[in-house]
Chains A and B, each alone.
Chain A
Amino acid sequence: QMSSGQKDEL
């Protein structure tokens, strides 16, 4: 994904 690898969604 284009954003940082951080998975911030549930």
Chain B
Amino acid sequence: MNIFRLVGDLSHLLAIFVLLLKIWKSRSCAGVSGKSQILFALVFITRYLDLFTNFISVYNSLMKVIFIASTVATVYLMYIKFKATYDSNHDTFRIEFLVVPVGGLAFLVNHDFTPLEILWTFSIYLESVAILPQLFMISKTGEAETITSHYLFALGSYRALYLLNWIYRYYFEGYFDLIAVVAGCVQTILYCDFFYLYITKVMWGKKLSLPA
């Protein structure tokens, strides 16, 4: 464990709970893409199948349980409890256009052709594009609530911190995973446009609104 990965994991945890609290407190999921949340739930479920078979540490197991539970809870709040506030008219990204190609790629490009490894690879590839429905929804509505932009900033920062973690681990531990690094770069690059808007607008107390 290193500081980049620890802060990255905490940033990820913060993002998930900021979103969960926003929906719970405001009793509304306006402006939030349910499709992205479904993809994130799929990412965690396919990645953490080794939860009971491969014990790493209390921290590792605890975080896996929290990530799965909080994301499933978010999907539940969006599609069941506060379904009436779900903005399906703007959450129209065709996620099958993400899941199918990512699934095919996981079969073709992986470290080891075994079910658990292919599912892990699928999860890594899917996570790199899972935010697209959310970014697409913001581009359609033309703006995002401030709390939603904080959610996105924390979520985008987590994988950017993981990139620093992989640089650290490469030089100090000789650890390198090309699949995770490439997917992590794609994932972080997708946030660049948002990071620019967040830093130039939200940081100065303005609302995040995309140029019309």
Residues of A within 8 A of B (CB): 1-3, 5-10
Which residues from B are CB-within-8-Å of A8?
56-57, 60
Is B14 at the interface (CB under 8 A from chain A)? no
- B60 near A2 with CB under 8 A, answer no
Which residues from A are CB-within-8-Å of B169?
3
Give A8 to B1 CA distance when docked, in angstroms.
9
Is B145 at the interface (CB under 8 A from chain A)? no
- A1 near B54 with CB under 8 A, answer no
29 A-B contact pairs sorted by A residue (CB < 8 Å): A1-B175, A1-B176, A1-B178, A2-B174, A2-B175, A2-B176, A3-B169, A3-B173, A3-B174, A3-B175, A3-B176, A3-B177, A6-B54, A6-B56, A7-B50, A7-B54, A7-B56, A7-B120, A8-B56, A8-B57, A8-B60, A9-B5, A9-B162, A9-B165, A9-B180, A10-B9, A10-B60, A10-B63, A10-B64
Give A5 to B174 CA distance when docked, in angstroms.
13
Is B67 at the interface (CB under 8 A from chain A)? yes
Which residues from B are CB-within-8-Å of A7?
50, 54, 56, 120
Is B111 at the interface (CB under 8 A from chain A)? yes
Give A10 to B12 CA distance when docked, in angstroms.
10
- Distance in angstroms from A3 CB to nearest chain B CB is 4
List B residues 42-72 near A (Cβ within 8 Å).
50, 54, 56-57, 60, 63-64, 67
Question: Would you list the 7 A-B pairs with minimal beta carbon distance, nearest first?
Answer: A1-B177, A3-B175, A2-B176, A8-B56, A2-B174, A10-B63, A1-B176
Give A7 to B175 CA distance when docked, in angstroms.
11
Which residues from A are CB-within-8-Å of B177?
1, 3
Which residues from A are CB-within-8-Å of B165?
9
Chain A, Cβ-Cβ closest to B174: A2
